[in-house]
Structure 1
């Protein structure tokens, strides 16, 4: 009788242990699938979508060859330095002239430019806004509202994912001084050269995207005079959004498409 009760207890314990093992394995499989989805599937989806958008923009621009080009917003900040001369000896229009041909701002979430980083083999569309769902999670690079437009006086500031969803800015920590970054629009190609970097700062450090970019957390990082700047921002360390990694560039040349 005692032996029978002991056998039943062992059987119940073994059943409970088996159930726990099944639940653990199931949870492990679910977690593994989530990891695969985040690290592989979202990257594949976003990269394919971003590549299609880049090709679509290029087709639109090529089809518009011969039409009157749209000038990019490119105001010189008060007291700012002159913009780099256009390649081929072209004349840069003055602030009033640029203002008179200013095109309407891109609509929210609209991809309107292509950013290329040859050193990293990065080619990604640039869209208006930095929302995750509408821009960044599509593998796009997001243009901070209120900052300068490509080639414009001030600071053309953008954000991109470092991990998952196409991760266009995953390796921007590998960029070195002088590396080229090209921003292509319907009417012009703007070439920036990497100049400085800030390896870690707070997500609330809005100074890095101001017209004259300078960190509010690390005041020695950044600039003190107006110019033609490009700012790349992304999360750091990898697989974390605790801090921000910043790379700055300066406009070196521009040419019409």
Structure 2
């Protein structure tokens, strides 16, 4: 009687071993498939985004080169020039400017904080949080004066430190439909280029073109160039900080001080940190150093890439 029991026990052990081995193999296979899918996702979204963004940049630069309609007259610093409209109110010399006269006085505040992305695990790189609306009511983020920015691509960012051919389009908004397609989004409610205050931009760290993948490389002496229909704005690196996703204070006209009146023209870039996580945000602040009006030669450091971006190399 002992032998049958021993045989049954041995068969049970073999069956258990087979099940465990099969389960381990399934888990290993699933892990490999997940890794392959992640690698494919990163590679494919970056490849597709790079092509789409390069096409958007070329089309935009060619459009600006071929027509001046809609351009706004600017000051030497690149800020929209205002003129008296006969009623004593300051008006921007552009169609639809009447709706953009708000926040003319320093320290004027917005009705809502900048719209932000969802931080959905894709590395959106935006700052957000329950305290954003209160921050705006306390003087956080004034509406940008001047005509509303275009709903499509209205700017191009060049950062030589990110690579000799780095040129990425900028559109209004920081929701996934902007960051996943265009690449770089402008925080609504932050200033427009050339204005006193803070131009806030967000971008992915690793997917959909990974527009800010190399942001940790920026340091003293580095420059970023923001091109619009009006010309090219040069920004010089000032500082880097790491904040939680709720760190809305980095977007104030004077970062970190909601009640201060801005006296400088800043550019703030935000992205996820560390790479492949959405736990924190890396924030880089730069300050405008100069402005070159459209129709004149671009700054030497980006002159070639501007021509390449427009498909004018060798012309």
| TM-score class normalised by the smaller sequence | 0.7 to 0.9
| Alignment gaps of 5+ in structure 2 | 85-90, 97-146, 295-315
Which residue pairs with 1:148 in the alignment? 191
CA contact (8 A) 1:142 1:160 kept: yes
CA contact (8 A) 2:156 2:228 kept: yes
1:99-178 equivalences under 5 Å are 99-101=92-94, 104-108=147-151, 110-121=152-163, 122-132=166-176, 134-138=177-181, 140-178=183-221
After superposition, give the CA deviation of every residue in 1:205-231 in whole Å (9 maximum; x if it has no partner): 222111222268xxxxxx874221111
Of the candidates 27, 30, 33, which is equivalent to residue 30 of structure 1? Answer: 33
* Number of equivalences: 233
Which residue pairs with 2:283 in the alignment? 246
Kindly tell me: are residues 173 and 255 of structure 1, through their superposed partners in 2, closer, same or farther at Cα, counting changes over 3 Å? same
Of the candidates 187, 203, 212, which is equivalent to residue 254 of structure 2? Answer: 212
Q: How much is the aligned-residue C-alpha RMSD, in angstroms?
A: 2.8
| Alignment gaps of 5+ in structure 1 | 75-82, 87-91, 217-222
1:176-191 equivalences under 5 Å are 176-191=219-234
Determine the C-alpha separation between the residues in 2 that align with 1:165 and 1:139: 9
Of the candidates 170, 186, 198, which is equivalent to residue 240 of structure 2? Answer: 198
CA contact (8 A) 1:139 1:168 kept: no
After superposition, give the CA deviation of every residue in 1:94-134 in whole Å (9 maximum; x if it has no partner): 433771226652454x22211000121232110100012x1
| Secondary structure of 1:197 counterpart | strand
Deviation at 1:84, TM superposition (A): 4.9
Kindly tell me: are residues 95 and 143 of structure 1, through their superposed partners in 2, closer, same or farther at Cα, counting changes over 3 Å? same
Kindly tell me: are residues 237 and 224 of structure 1, through their superposed partners in 2, closer, same or farther at Cα, counting changes over 3 Å? farther
Deviates more, 1:123-132 or 1:182-191: 182-191
Deviation at 1:2, TM superposition (A): 3.6
Determine the C-alpha separation between the residues in 2 that align with 1:204 and 1:93: 31
Deviation at 1:157, TM superposition (A): 0.9
CA contact (8 A) 1:155 1:210 kept: yes
Deviation at 1:142, TM superposition (A): 0.7
1:16-55 equivalences under 5 Å are 16-55=19-58
| Secondary structure of 1:96 counterpart | strand
TM-score by length of structure 2 reads 0.65
